[in-house]
């Protein structure tokens, strides 16, 4: 998908005025946040689990080469195959290669954010394959020809009415209006696709080094049908998703469900290890894992390593007031919200997403709910620092900062200017406030400016106490 993150400002304003979007966002936000809070309250050791998860992830990242090699050995021993993709193009080539070799005509997909990241669907469709998203949310946005707006609830921006319209247009009438009817209709359409699929592609929530297993969690069971009914199962995953043992995976599973959807556990947790064995009742004939780097090893080497702890739960965006105001599409690429505002510039380039690290109040709510304690505000500020160093920050802003620094490091001048400002602003104030101020429309277009009283504190203090 073409990156449009530099249109963030326009897209966010558009989003704020989109009534359907605002209805959908309002409902979703409170659902996720409330359910998570209930789950956390019922698990006294939740904070301890976060700390353990952070430490375990850090350990894995410190020894990522070791665990990835162990993982590859275990996958191979189980009869599967690991492919290494340096970037999105290599990942697409590898997957296309497998699909073409087996003569794939229909490809089903469980939800995979990495496949969005590498633009997989378009590549497969260009080569004549039918691609069917089987996660209900992904299916809805596929019908709408839209990218996901949330990493675990891709169609969270859609209202029920909009889904009814999409289904009617795609499946024919009569138009369904009740959620169970809509779900039944999707299930009926998708059921046929599962059986026709040559290749099933899923993501991988966790990769287990000890056993060579990939783990996915879903609430719809669509991932299981995608990976067991097709002849070939391809797992797409970032290289950072490996954990040492199955035991370790359970730690993350406990955190993931609670943080993501506010469930104790998702409805389906599926562990796949290699292709179908001789005595298995079902399963794919081939099992492939495509491990995607796409900027991750660069993150590993630098100051953004903490970001690689991310388990893609979406809690940061659910709790982000900016995401809550504008939704995911405003961010202009695959990953929205706080985690996306860190990942997008790191994967696509600092200058491809100037606004993302800046469109944040650094309020810290994301970090406070992150199950692996990623210091998201710090990372966003660090990106601003890089923008500043690399002159991506707008010239006017840099100049303003330069002037501010020059004045603020001269206390007498600074205080004199504050005294002038206090007088000037109180002079133009009416009834204690200023309704419009030249060059300050960013403030006064929507807010009054409380007026100063005419004297600064330091001035009054010195008058009162003298120079002590």
Q: Which residues bind other proteins (CB under 8 A)?
A: 9, 12-13, 16, 321-322, 325-326, 358-365, 367-368, 381, 383-389, 393, 397-398, 401-402, 404-405, 408-409, 411, 414-415, 418, 421-422, 431-433, 435, 440-443, 445-453, 455-458, 460-462, 465, 468
Q: Is the peptide bond before 174 cis (omega within 30 degrees of 0)?
A: yes
Nearer to other proteins, 46 or 414 (CB): 414
Smallest distance from the beta carbon of 442 to other proteins, in angstroms?
3
Least separation in angstroms between residue 330's CB and other proteins is 9
**Least CB distance from residue 52 to other proteins, whole Å?**
21
**For other proteins, the closer CB: 251 or 325:** 325
Q: How far is CA 106 from CA 63, 92, 120, 134, in A?
A: 38, 16, 14, 12
314 vs 257: CA distance, rounded Å: 10
Closest distance to other proteins from the beta carbon of 354 (Å): 11
CA–chain centroid gap for 453, Å, is 45
| Residue 257 or 346 having the CB closest to other proteins | 346
Helix or strand or coil: residue 449?
strand
DSSP strand pairing (433-434 vs 449-450)? antiparallel
Nearer CB in complex with other proteins: 2/445: 445
Query: Smallest distance, Å, CB 391 to other proteins?
Result: 11
- Give kind and range of the element (H or E) at residue 377: helix 376-389
Minimum distance from residue 467 beta carbon to other proteins (Å): 8
Q: How near is the Cβ of 341 to other proteins at its closest, in Å? A: 13
The vertex-289 CA angle with 283 and 291, nearest 5°, equals: 160
d(C-alpha 112, C-alpha 202), whole Å: 6
To the nearest 10 degrees (0 to 180), the angle between helices 160-171 and 136-143 is 70
Cβ 433 to other proteins shortest distance, Å = 4
Angle between helices 411-428 and 457-465 (to 10 degrees): 110
For other proteins, the closer CB: 241 or 373: 373
In whole angstroms, how close is the CB of 261 to other proteins at the nearest point? 20
- CB contact at 8 A, 262 and 317: no
Instruction: Give whole-number Cα distances, 389 to 128, 299, 376, 395, in Å.
Output: 46, 18, 20, 12
Nearer to other proteins, 212 or 340 (CB): 340
Q: Which is nearer to other proteins, 17 or 145 (CB)?
A: 17
Give the N- to C-terminal CA distance of the chain in Å, as an integer: 66
C-beta of 58: minimal distance to other proteins in Å? 19
Residue 441 is encoded by which pair of tokens?
């429309």
Q: Which is nearer to other proteins, 168 or 448 (CB)?
A: 448
Cβ-based nearer residue to other proteins, 13 or 169:
13
Partners of 287 in the β-ladder:
233
Q: How many CB atoms lie within 10 A of CB 164?
A: 18
Q: Is 272 left (phi over 0), alpha (psi -120 to 50) or beta?
A: beta
Closer to other proteins by CB, 66 or 423: give it. 423
Which CA distances in Å does 155 have to 10, 18, 152, 395?
Answer: 21, 15, 9, 38
């Amino acid at each position: 998908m073409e990156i449009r993150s530099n249109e963030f400002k326009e897209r966010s304003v558009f989003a704020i005025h989109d009534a359907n979007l605002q209805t959908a966002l309002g409902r979703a936000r409170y659902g996720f946040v409330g359910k998570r809070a209930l789950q956390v309250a019922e698990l006294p050791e939740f904070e301890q689990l976060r700390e353990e998860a952070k430490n375990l992830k850090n350990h894995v990242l410190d020894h990522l080469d070791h665990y990835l090699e162990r993982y590859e050995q275990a996958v191979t021993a189980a009869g599967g195959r690991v492919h290494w993709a340096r970037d999105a193009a290599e990942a697409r080539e590898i997957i296309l290669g497998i699909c073409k070799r087996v003569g794939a005509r229909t490809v089903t997909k469980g939800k995979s954010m990495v496949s969005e990241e590498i633009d997989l669907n378009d590549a497969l469709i260009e080569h004549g394959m039918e691609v069917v998203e089987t996660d209900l949310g992904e299916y809805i946005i596929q019908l709408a020809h839209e990218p996901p707006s949330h990493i675990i609830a891709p169609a969270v921006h859609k209202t029920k009415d909009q889904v009814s319209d999409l289904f009617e247009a795609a499946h024919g009438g009569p138009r369904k209006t009740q959620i169970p009817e809509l779900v039944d209709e999707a299930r009926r359409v998708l059921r046929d696709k599962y059986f026709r699929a040559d290749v099933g592609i899923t993501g991988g929530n966790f990769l287990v080094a000890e056993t060579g297993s990939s783990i996915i969690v879903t609430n719809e069971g669509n991932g299981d049908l995608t990976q067991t009914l097709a002849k070939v199962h391809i797992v797409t995953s970032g290289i950072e998703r490996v954990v040492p043992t199955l035991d370790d995976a359970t730690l993350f599973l406990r955190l993931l469900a609670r943080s993501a959807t506010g469930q104790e556990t998702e409805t389906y947790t599926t562990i796949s290890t290699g292709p179908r064995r001789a005595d298995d009742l079902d399963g794919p004939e081939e099992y492939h894992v495509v491990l995607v780097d796409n900027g991750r090893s660069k993150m590993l080497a630098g100051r953004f390593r903490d970001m690689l702890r991310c388990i893609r739960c979406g809690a940061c965006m659910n709790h982000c007031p900016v995401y809550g105001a504008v939704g995911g599409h405003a961010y202009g690429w695959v990953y929205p919200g706080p985690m996306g505002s860190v990942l997008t510039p790191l994967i696509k380039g600092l200058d491809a997403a100037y606004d993302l690290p800046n469109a944040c109040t650094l309020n810290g709510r994301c970090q406070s709910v992150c199950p692996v304690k990623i210091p998201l505000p710090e990372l966003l500020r660090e990106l601003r620092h890089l923008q500043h160093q690399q002159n991506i920050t707008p010239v006017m802003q840099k100049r303003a900062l330069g002037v501010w620094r020059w004045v603020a490091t001269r206390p007498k001048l600074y205080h004199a200017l504050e005294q002038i400002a206090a007088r000037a602003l109180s002079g133009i104030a009416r009834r204690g406030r200023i309704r419009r101020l030249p060059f300050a429309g960013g403030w006064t277009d929507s807010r009054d400016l409380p007026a100063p009283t005419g004297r600064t504190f330091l001035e009054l203090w010195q008058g009162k106490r003298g120079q002590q």
